[in-house]
Amino acid sequence: MEKIAFFDTKPYDKIYFDKLNKEFEIEYFESRLRPESVRLAEGCKAVCAFVNDDIGEKSINKLADMGVKVLAMRCAGYNNVSLKAAQGRITVVRVPAYSPYAVAEHAIGMILMLNRKLHKAYIRTRDFNFSLNGLIGFDLHGKTAGVIGTGKIGRAFIDICRGFGMKVIANDPYPAENSGIDYVSREEIFRQSDIISLHCPLTSDTKYIINEQALSMMKPETIIVNTSRGKLIDSEALLDALNEKRIGGAALDVYEEETDLFFEDNSDRIVTDEVLSLLVSRPNVLITSHQAFLTNEALQSIAEITLKNLHDFFAGNPLEYEIKYKGDEHHA
């Protein structure tokens, strides 16, 4: 029975991996995978990691020297993995799509909450304050949603927007064929959209896709939504635009410096990230802690595909979801 070192473990991870695992010995660690914690994988041929683990060159080299043969990412993103260092030494697999509906629905939920001030209304009524002052939103019906990235999640998001009666425009270097999606330039997305939602991976081409220049093109009422990767947005430029009332608001499930903060309870310590602290304090900003994927269906799918990836690797089967180095790394 092959032994797997499972890093950055949360209680909800164990539920589905323990339920579905029939083949491996899994050793769970709460620690994130980073160069200092690599030693925990001693005696394991496989490592299972998540989005905020530090799997750069240093970690990869240490894992390979210890005899680790496969790195199973239990997520879609892999910008925290040095594929260049892993090339020819450690096989890397991932879960490309677990539940596109989970992420798309969370994005829509954040839009509704931020636009209609539902979070504020909830807090008010718990104090028996039933005033409607300051709770005005706008109809989504008839508004324009600009979607950057039209993979499975982006297309699920588009379907929901159409259900609300929204006009949808999109941008993607690889347009979905026969989808009926109206593809336009990024500049047109920035200029025309009332809602801009990011559903693209983090690459050298998409880092800070929302920057000072992009923000300067937007309408003053535009809401930006990010459920993909934090570094798609230049947070300081976003904060400036919010402070100067050049955009309407931001709904963020990810943040570019989230690694040491998200997924953890930091309520009893002082958070020194000034940009995040200021974003959290803004009344037109809604932040969740990389939560968009968190549904029962998604967690089950993550466990199923991760365990299948590991089974196929050790059985010598073709690897459907292997990631290989292509020379376009904008990460670890």
- Active-site residue list: 229, 258, 290
CB atoms within 10 A of CB 128: 6
- 132 class by beta-carbon count within 10 Å (0-12 exposed, 13-18 middle, 19+ buried): exposed
- CB < 8 Å & 24+ apart, contacts of 28-33: 29/5, 31/7, 32/7, 32/8, 33/7, 33/8, 33/59
Q: Specify the DSSP element, H or E, that contains 7.
A: none
Q: Exposure string (b/e) for 21-40, b if CB count within 10 Å is 16 or more?
A: beebebbbbeebbbbebbeb
Which two tokens mark 275?
A: 């940009």
CA–CA dist 207, 89 (Å, integer): 28
Cα separation, 45 vs 314, in Å, equals: 10
- The closest of 153, 156, 225, 229 to 189, measured between CA atoms, is 225
Buried b (16+ CB within 10 A) or exposed e, 103-115: bbbbbbbbbebbb
Calpha distance 155→207 (Å, rounded): 21
Tokens at residue 258, please? 């989230």
**How do 182-183 and 249-252 pair as beta strands?**
unpaired
